[in-house]
Amino acid sequence: MSTTTLASGTSALSRRIAPALLFLIALAATLITLLPIAIVIFTAFKPTAEVNAFPPTLLPEAWTLANFERIFTDLPFARLIVNSFVFAGGVTLLSLTFDALAAYVLARIDFRGSRILLIALIGSLMIPFQATLIPVYQLVADLGWINSYAGLIAPRAADAFGIFFLRQFFLSLPRDLDSAARVDGASEVRIFRSIVLPNAVPALVTLGVYNFVNNWNDLLWPLVMTTDPEMGTITSGLTALTGPGGIIPFGVMMAGSLIALLPLAILFLFLQRRFVASVASTGLK
Amino acid sequence: MTTTAAPRRTPYRPPARMGGRGPLTANMRRRLTILVFLLPAATVLAAFVFWPMISAFLMSFTNANGFRTPEFIGLDNYVTVFTDAQVLRSMVNTLLYAALFTPAVVVTALGLALLLNDPRLPLRGMFRTWLFLPFIVSLAVAAFAWQYLLDPQIGLLNYWMRGFGLQIGNVFQDPALAMPAVAMIAVWKTFPFYMIVFLAGLQDIPPSLYEASRMDGAGAWGRFRHITLPLLGNTTGFVVVIATIAALQAFDQIYVLTGGGPYRSTQTVVMQIYQSGFKDLDLGFASALSYVLLVATLILGLVQFWLSSRKAEAAV
Tell me whether residues B219 and A8 touch, CB distance under 8 A.
Answer: yes
Global pTM? 0.87
CA distance B197 to chain A (A): 5
The nearest alpha carbon in chain B to A152 belongs to: B48
Query: Does the residue B37 lie in any domain?
Result: no
The predicted pLDDT at position B84 comes to 92
Task: Between B244 and B165, name the one with better pLDDT.
Answer: B244
| CB-based contact, A43 to chain B, within 8 Å | yes
pLDDT digits (tens, 9 = 90+) for B20-75: 455 667 788 888 888 999 999 999 999 999 999 999 999 999 998 877 888 899 89
Name which of B119, B138, B302 is nearest A219 (Cβ-Cβ).
B138
Q: What is the chain A residue with the closest CA to B311?
A: A284
- Kindly report the three-state secondary structure assignment for every residue of chain B: CCCCCCCCCCCCCCCCCCCCCCCCCHHHHHHHHHHHHHHHHHHHHHHHHHHHHHHHHHHCCECCCCCCCCCECCCHHHHHHHHCHHHHHHHHHHHHHHHHHHHHHHHHHHHHHHHHHCCCCCCHHHHHHHHHHHHHCCHHHHHHHHHHHCCCCCCHHHHHHHHCCCCCCCHHHCCCCHHHHHHHHHHHHHHHHHHHHHHHHHHCCCHHHHHHHHHCCCCHHHHHHHHHHHHCHHHHHHHHHHHHHHHHCCCHHHHHHCCCCCCCCCCCHHHHHHHHHHHCCCHHHHHHHHHHHHHHHHHHHHHHHHHHHHHHHHHC
A52 contacts on B by Cβ (under 8 Å): 154
Residue B19 pLDDT exceeds 70:
no
**Amino acid, single-letter form, for residue B230:** P
**B219 lies in some domain:** yes
Tell me the chain A residues in contact with residue B149 when contact means C-beta distances shorter than 8 Å: 35-36, 39
Asked if the C-beta of A11 comes within 8 angstroms of chain B's C-beta atoms, the answer is no
Interface size A-B, in CB pairs within 8 Å, comes to 318
Q: Which amino acid is at B136?
A: I
Confidence bin at B285 (pLDDT 50/70/90)? very high
Chain B residues within 8 A of A30 when measuring between CB atoms: 127, 130-131
Give the chain B residue whose CA is nearest to the CA of A188.
B33
Is the pLDDT at B16 greater than 80, yes or no?
Answer: no
A6 touches chain B (CB under 8 A): yes
- From chain B, pick out residues whose CB is under 8 angstroms from the CB of A254: 144-145, 148
Determine, yes or no, domain membership for B4: no
Q: How far apart are CA A204 and CA A96, in angstroms?
A: 7
A135 to B206: CB separation less than 8 angstroms, yes or no: no
Which phi and psi angles does B62 have, rounded to 5°?
-125, 175
Minimal Cα distance from A252: which residue of B? Answer: B144
Let me know: does A28 contact B131? Beta carbons within 8 Å. no
- CA distance linking residue B224 with residue B229, whole number of Å: 6
| pLDDT higher than 70, residue B9 | no
Inside any domain, residue B220: yes
Closest-CA distance of chain B to residue A172, Å: 16
- Alpha carbon of B297 to those of A256, A282, B204, B244, B308: distances in Å? 34, 17, 29, 9, 16
CATH of residue B222: 1.10.3720.10
Per the structure, how many domains does chain B have?
Answer: 1
ipTM entry: 0.89
* Interior/surface letters B104-128, b for 16+ CB within 10 angstroms, e for the rest: bbbebbbbbbbbbbbebbeebeebb
- In chain A, the residue whose alpha carbon lies closest to the alpha carbon of B133 is A34
B147 — phi, psi (to 5°)? -60, -40
- The phi-psi region of residue A147 (left if phi > 0; otherwise alpha if psi is between -120 and 50; otherwise beta) is left
**B2 has a pLDDT exceeding 50:** no
pLDDT for residue A84: 97
The angle at the Cα of B97, spanning B239 to B266, to the nearest 5 degrees, equals: 150
**Tens place of pLDDT for every residue, chain A, 285 residues?**
444 444 444 566 677 888 899 999 999 999 999 999 999 999 999 999 998 888 999 999 999 999 999 999 989 999 999 999 999 999 999 999 999 999 999 998 888 888 898 888 888 888 888 889 999 999 999 999 999 999 999 999 999 999 999 998 898 888 887 788 888 888 888 888 888 899 899 899 989 998 999 999 999 999 999 989 899 999 999 988 875 556 788 999 999 999 999 999 999 988 888 888 777 776 554
Single-letter code of the amino acid located at B55? S
Q: How many residues appear in chain B?
A: 316
Residue B13's pLDDT is 57
CA distance B9 to chain A (A): 17
Give the range of the structural domain holding residue B284, as residue numbers without chain letter: 89-315
Task: State the average pLDDT for chain B.
Answer: 87
Cα A199 vs. chain centroid, distance in angstroms? 23
Could you tell me which residues come within 8 angstroms of residue A28 by beta carbon, excluding any fewer than 6 positions away? none
Q: Report the residue of chain B nearest A138, measured CA to CA.
A: B66
Find which of A23, A58, A130 to mutate to test the B interface (most B CBs within 10 Å of its CB). A130
What's the pLDDT at B23? 62
| pLDDT one-digit tens code per residue, B158-171 | 999 988 988 888 89
**pLDDT given for residue A241 in this prediction:** 83
